[in-house]
């Protein structure tokens, strides 16, 4: 296993596939603008799935499905699905106290009370970061939409500003999903102002497609999801 330099790029070989995009600089934040059916979340998982091969860690923040369901879906993208030592979860779903954590160790799961508990989400992410033995971390938040719907644009912006700034300064990789069908276009644009680039998704004649802007502008034409 090749361990990348702390300031080196994040390799995206499992995500890029049919696109010219194969890496991203450390400290990059990306917004994935699409609903679950469009492939936005799938591309996030595929981007995260390259982490264990190079000794990196993954933090997944869920605001919809509980940790167990999240892990099951993430495992389907891994080349070694039974190896989850690299994975850490912050469960901010509405699943209550009886949370299903699936095959994860309880030490790998932090809990917030709900999507509106942004303080709890922040504490959970911080606790995981403090426990890790590496500065190479890929963080995926799936999804920002429940937070934005319940807390509004101003508070969501403030929360995301703190989180993206931390990712940028620490040299991590941050991936955030938002469903544009659930929000006003200007609210999605506000979130996009915080990140270095974005992927947008669409479905044409049953084919899922995506293209990038900013830091991922190399995918400037609509590309098919494999």
* Domain contains 202: yes
* Domain contains 224: no
The string over 104-129, giving b where at least 16 C-beta atoms fall within 10 Å of a residue's C-beta and e elsewhere, is beeebbbbbebbbbbebbbebbeebb
* Domain contains 198: yes
At residue 102, the pLDDT reads 83
CA 4, 57, 192, 200 dihedral sign is positive
At residue 27, the pLDDT reads 97
Q: How far apart are CA 45 and CA 74, in angstroms?
A: 6
* Domain contains 226: no
* Domain contains 20: no
Note whether 61 and 125 are within 8 A (CB). yes
Note whether 66 and 93 are within 8 A (CB). yes
CATH number at residue 133: 3.40.50.300
**Domain range enclosing 196:** 25-209
Name the CA radius of gyration of the chain, rounded: 16
* Domain contains 48: yes
Give the pTM.
0.93
* Domain contains 118: yes
Q: What is the pLDDT of residues 39-95, one digit of tens each?
A: 999 999 999 999 999 999 999 999 998 899 999 999 998 988 888 999 999 999 987
pLDDT averaged per 10 residues in sequence order, the chain, 226 residues? 73 62 92 93 92 95 91 91 93 74 90 94 96 94 96 97 97 97 95 97 92 92 85
* Domain contains 221: no
**Number of domains forming the structure of the chain:** 1
SS3 content of the chain, % helix, strand, coil (to 5): 35, 25, 40
Q: How far is C-alpha 52 from the geometric centre of its chain's CA atoms?
A: 15
């Amino acid at each position: 296993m090749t361990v990348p330099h702390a300031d080196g790029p994040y390799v995206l070989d499992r995500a890029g596939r049919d696109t010219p995009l194969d890496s991203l600089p450390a400290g990059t934040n990306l917004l994935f603008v699409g609903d679950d059916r469009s492939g936005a979340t799938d591309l996030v998982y595929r981007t995260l799935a390259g982490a264990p091969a190079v000794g990196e860690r993954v933090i997944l923040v869920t605001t919809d499905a509980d940790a167990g369901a999240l892990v099951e879906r993430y495992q389907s993208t891994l080349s070694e699905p039974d190896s989850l030592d690299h994975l850490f979860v912050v469960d901010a779903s509405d699943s209550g106290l009886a949370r299903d954590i699936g095959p994860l160790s309880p030490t790998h799961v932090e809990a917030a009370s709900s999507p509106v508990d942004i303080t709890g989400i922040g504490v959970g992410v911080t606790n995981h970061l403090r426990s890790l033995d590496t500065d190479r971390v890929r963080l995926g938040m799936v999804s920002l939409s429940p937070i934005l719907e319940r807390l509004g644009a101003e508070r969501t912006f403030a929360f995301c500003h703190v989180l993206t700034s931390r990712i940028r300064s620490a040299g991590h990789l941050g991936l955030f999903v938002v469903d544009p069908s659930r929000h006003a276009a200007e609210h999605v644009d506000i979130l996009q102002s915080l990140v270095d680039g974005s992927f947008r998704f669409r479905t044409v004649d049953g084919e899922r497609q995506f293209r990038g802007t900013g830091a991922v502008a190399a995918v400037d034409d609509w590309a098919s999801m494999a």
